[in-house]
Amino acid sequence: MFGIAWGIVSIVLMVAAGEGLRVGQAKVASTFGRDVMIVFSGRTSMQAGGSRAGRRIRFDDVDLPLVREKSPDCKYVIPELGQGNILVHSSYNSGSLTVAGSAPPFAEVRSIEVGEGRFYNDEDLAQARHVAFIGTDVRKQLFPGRPAIGDTIYLADIPYTVIGVMKKKDQDSSYDGFDVNKIFVPYTAMRQDFPNKPPDTMHTLDRVLVAPYSLAQHPACKSEVLTAFGSIHNFDPHDKEAASVWDTIEDAQEFARMTEGMKIFLGAVGFTTLCLGGLGVMNVMLVAVRERTREIGVRKAVGAPARMILRQFFIESVFVVAFSGAVGFTIAFGLCGLVDLLPMPQFFAGLLPTWSSALLAFALLGTVAVLSAIYPASRAASIDPIEALRYEAGG
């Protein structure tokens, strides 16, 4: 019984740990963005169309209509312009913060949820309105203990009206700081008030955010965008230095493969534990039945048929398996529940047991236990009662 229970507990805990790591990592990764690719301009490392290598590439917002036209598999192709260390103050406090300007779909592709108010919309973008959506930490700094919606903040002495506050989120990666520490404004207002400095122009972008309609369209979307920018700026679309891509979709797929491999490894370790447990269960059951050979002889001597003896051992072994399996399930799921009550690291979602692994362990060990009891019992039931009565344990 202990061997069966321990085998179930071990494999359930191993698989639960792997599943908790997978879910935790996926949850944290999703806070950065939903199926988004960030395209950065750089310098060419390959010659193309007679142009030398080492040429500086600058993406412009005027490129985007043509890029969208040539990228039918992309749901979004939006600009982003960011400036760090901008002096921002309210009526209550001040600070040096990062300001980012983009289009309304930015909130969707970057997993920015609204906690209060609203995110800027297409009308705000079209009219270059001075409206701001602020992160949770920005609110704490600029409006400590006070409402922020409708109040005014000054970005380098330019007034902006706060229209929304972001819902707090955990984030483990970014390219220019965590979103809770940022102020988000419409791209047109950002371009007007905080354009890139020369030799860049007013229309120069820092980066372009791209999102496909579906995961199946991801490779085509990525290729279409790079090809479009390559044709506009005369560089090879395979030149990773001219246009580098932070592909969160590929990162997620790589991580999924890694965690799947980890689950297979933990499952293999658990399966090995099950096999060892199965051997122990088999030996114990074989010895237990052999020790009861005289009992079988007595029952046969008073007229018990072989099928009744086999039924007895079958029922007993099934009871042992069911009881020890229930104990194993209780211990395994109880331990997972207790561990999940503790504070968890950001990348770990806790011990997440799966019924499939538990039932697999139970079925394997249960089958071993039942067969280990039935086989020697059938042999003992087939021998002559007199020989069974003469049997001496250990002899």
CA distances from 386 to 112, 295, 298 (A): 82, 12, 9
pLDDT class of 278 with cuts at 50, 70, 90: low
Residues present in the chain in total: 395
Q: Are 105 and 78 in contact (CB under 8 A)?
A: yes
Tokens representing 367 are 């089958």
Predicted local distance difference test score (pLDDT) of residue 304? 79
Show me where the domains of the chain are located: 2-28+253-390, 77-199
Buried b (16+ CB within 10 A) or exposed e, 185-203: bbbbbbbebbbbeeeeeeb
**CB 308: neighbour CB atoms within 10 A?**
12
pLDDT above 90 coverage of the chain, percent: 38
Q: How much of the chain is in helix, strand and coil states, percent to nearest 5?
A: 50, 20, 30
Q: 173-177, 258-262, 287-291, 389-393: lowest mean pLDDT where? A: 389-393
Predicted local distance difference test score (pLDDT) of residue 132? 97
> Could you give the CA distance from residue 379 to residue 290 in angstroms, rounded to a whole number?
10
Backbone region of residue 357 per phi and psi (left: phi > 0; alpha: psi in -120 to 50; beta: other values): alpha
pLDDT average, residue stretch 298-309: 80
In tens, the pLDDT along 342-381 reads 887 767 778 888 777 777 777 777 777 677 667 766 766 6
CA distances from 31 to 18, 194, 227, 248, 249 (A): 21, 27, 29, 11, 13
pLDDT average, residue stretch 309-336: 82
Q: How far is CA 346 from the centre of its chain?
A: 11
